[in-house]
Amino acid sequence: MKIVYMDAPRHLAEKVAKLEIPNFIIEVIRHLERDYYRDYYDEIEIICGVHSSHNTTLPLSPIWKFKEPEYENIATLIHTIPIYLRDSKPEEIRDENSIIDLLGAYYSNRNGDSPYIELFLSAIDNSINNDENHFKWLFTKVLIHELAHAALDIFNLERNNSVIEKIHYFSEFGRWREESMANAVTLKIIRDYGNKDFYDYATRFMKSQPAEYALGVLMEDVRYLDFISVFNSKKLGVDSNLQQKWLNYVKGTPDWDGLKKWNYMLHRKYVYVFEGKYYPSEQELVYDIVEKVLSDYEHQNGGKMPFATFSTLFPYIRTGAEMSYEPAQKVVGDRRYKKEFELADGNYSLYYFWDNESLHNFIDMNKLNVNIIEYKNF
């Protein structure tokens, strides 16, 4: 860990050393290092088992860059990104690629220079009511939060020289996604460290922060998919209408189950809305439309739809490796045909694979009198 004294008050810099905060931080993230290097050793075994080449060419990527986006990269970023001890937050933003919080800042590496972190010791000290434990905990919390920004930085990914950021931090959507995820990762790391007093303090502090930060408390069970959803959104983009709908949701009464569903939806290329329900999966949408059309027919006609009618509404087309539907008896035991439905002439089963193209080939909204709203994220 490279901590550099800049213009912070000397007594506060000495306090960092006296309380042995760097050693404490290493202990807090120790479990994260174990997780990170477990994957690293697995990768080394695979490489050694597959390749017999003795190529000793050194990697050309800068030391702070990571191969795959995951929050566990914090385990190495803490040793590769300089950490500067400053007095207070700058009055003006010095770099449009910076993320400047009240207690710390993260500066990206857009021009090939090393990213770096600043911690504002006077602001941290003014937030802790002369409690040394609180100073140590808040210093650690702020640093991990800034490291989470580094782990979310798409410009720290290897092999991304031509990447363009599609979701900017300074947009409302970008700020809410970024800050909530950074706090979620921070709280998860602190919780997994196992010091309940520290965890309770960090939780209370986060709840006292602005709403986009406090949202992270609901997300402390963050999974890989949740983290990668935020990371990839910055790289690939999110439909502007979905951005606003997500903001409306999180500013209401969000819960973790709902946030997980949104993370999955924003990670998908296409999202659909049918009958007020959101669908990140074409399969589920096709199944529900077929079910509704059959149900409406039975309600209006007092009996099951005959196959002759069904086949004029829903074409028999190839989707993926097989056909869109088959008689149920023909595909008994074939788990690829998942959805069984009853017609007047017998039972049929729908195939499992659907994508955007086969969805539009199969569903004629005018013929079926249904309405689908479609959003394209990237």
Burial of 288 (0-12, 13-18, 19+ CB in 10 A): middle
Contact by Cβ (8 Å): 337, 323: no
pLDDT surpassing 80 at residue 230: yes
Contact by Cβ (8 Å): 87, 9: yes
Extended strands (E) in 142-242? none
The pLDDT-based confidence of 64 (bands split at 50, 70, 90) is: confident
In sequence order, the β-bridge partners of residue 346 are: 343
Residue with tokens 């689908």: 372
The pLDDT-based confidence of 48 (bands split at 50, 70, 90) is: very low
Residue 271 is given by DSSP the state: E
- Per residue in 310-336, pLDDT tens? 999 999 999 999 999 999 999 999 999
Please tell me the predicted confidence (pLDDT) of residue 49.
47
Contact by Cβ (8 Å): 57, 33: no
Please tell me the predicted confidence (pLDDT) of residue 92.
72
The pLDDT-based confidence of 46 (bands split at 50, 70, 90) is: very low
Contact by Cβ (8 Å): 316, 307: no
- Per residue in 159-185, pLDDT tens? 776 788 999 999 999 999 999 999 999
Helix (H) or strand (E) holding 204: helix 196-207
Residues 6+ apart with CB under 8 A from 45: none
Tokens of 239: 């439909």
Residues 6+ apart with CB under 8 A from 26: 1, 78
When pLDDT is averaged across residues 208-225 and rounded to a whole number, the result is 97
pLDDT surpassing 70 at residue 203: yes
Please tell me the predicted confidence (pLDDT) of residue 94.
63
When pLDDT is averaged across residues 29-39 and rounded to a whole number, the result is 79
Q: What is the mean pLDDT of the chain?
A: 92
pLDDT surpassing 60 at residue 149: yes
Please tell me the predicted confidence (pLDDT) of residue 39.
58
